[in-house]
């Protein structure tokens, strides 16, 4: 399911990342690679703040929808 549907605090493993190549590549350098463990810290009108590899990354709803866990 997409990352936007997970509950805050729940730890999940990334299964697949979709979206445009350029953004996907940027996400990869930030640690969003298949197999990484990710959890949602906070949510604001669809935009989410997630915890990945011990850092906090804010991503928009469109992008979070493309990260499958």
Partner 1 sequence: MPIKIALAGNPNSGKTTLFNALTGSNQFVGNWPGVTVEKKEGKLKGHKDVVITDLPGIYSLSPYTLEEVVARNYLIHEHPDAILNIIDGTNLERNLYLTTQLLELGIPTVIAINMMDVVKKNHDVIDVARLGQELGCPVVEISALKGIGIQEAAKKVVFLAQEGLPTAPVHKFAEEVENVLTQIEEKITGVKEEEKRFFAIKLFERDEKIKELLDCVPEVEDIVKETEEKMDDDSESIITNERYTYLSSIIEHCYVTKSKRKLTVSDKIDRIVTNRWLALPIFAIVMVIVYYVSVTTVGTMATDWVNDGVFGDGWHLFGIGSSEYTEKSDEFSDASLKTEAYFDAAEAAGIDVEALRASWEDGELDETALAAFETEAQAAGLTGEAEVMDDETGEVAETIPVALQDFESAVAVREPDPADYGVWVPSIPVLIEDGLTAINCVDWLQDLILSGIVGGVGAVLGFVPQMLVLFLFLAFLESCGYMARIAFIMDRIFRKFGLSGKSFIPMLIGTGCGVPGVMASRTIENDRDRKMTIMTTTFIPCGAKLPIIALIAGALFQGAWWVAPSAYFVGVAAIVLSGIMLKKTKMFAGDPAPFVMELPAYHLPTVGNVLRSMWERGWSFIKKAGTIILLSTILLWFLQGYGVENGSFGRVTDLNNSILAAIGGVIAPLFAPLGWGDWKAAVAAVTGLIAKENVVGTFGVLYGGLDEVAENGWQIWDAMRMEFTMLSAYSFLVFNLLCAPCFAAIGAIRREMNSAKWTWFAIGYQCIFAYAVSMCIYQLGMLFTTGAFGIGTVVAFLIVALILYLLFRPYHEKNKLTVKVRV
Binding flag, residue 49, partner 1 (CB under 8 A): yes
Query: Helices in the chain by DSSP H: which ranges?
Result: 21-29, 61-65
Binding flag, residue 62, partner 1 (CB under 8 A): yes
Residue positions counted in the chain: 69
54 Cβ contact partners less than 8 Å away, ≥ 6 residues apart: none
The position carrying tokens 């906090």 is: 56
Of 33, 38, 68, 69, the one binding partner 1 (CB under 8 A) is 33
- Which residues of this protein are in contact with partner 1, per CB under 8 A? 8-9, 11, 19-20, 22-23, 25-31, 33-34, 36, 39, 41-47, 49, 51-60, 62-63
């Amino acid at each position: 399911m997409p990352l936007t549907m997970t509950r805050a605090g729940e730890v999940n493993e990334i299964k697949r990342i979709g979206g445009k190549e350029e953004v996907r590549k940027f996400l990869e350098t930030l640690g969003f690679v298949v197999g990484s463990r990710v959890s949602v810290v906070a949510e604001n009108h669809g935009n989410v703040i997630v915890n990945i590899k011990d850092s906090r990354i804010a991503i928009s709803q469109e992008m979070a929808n493309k990260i499958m866990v």
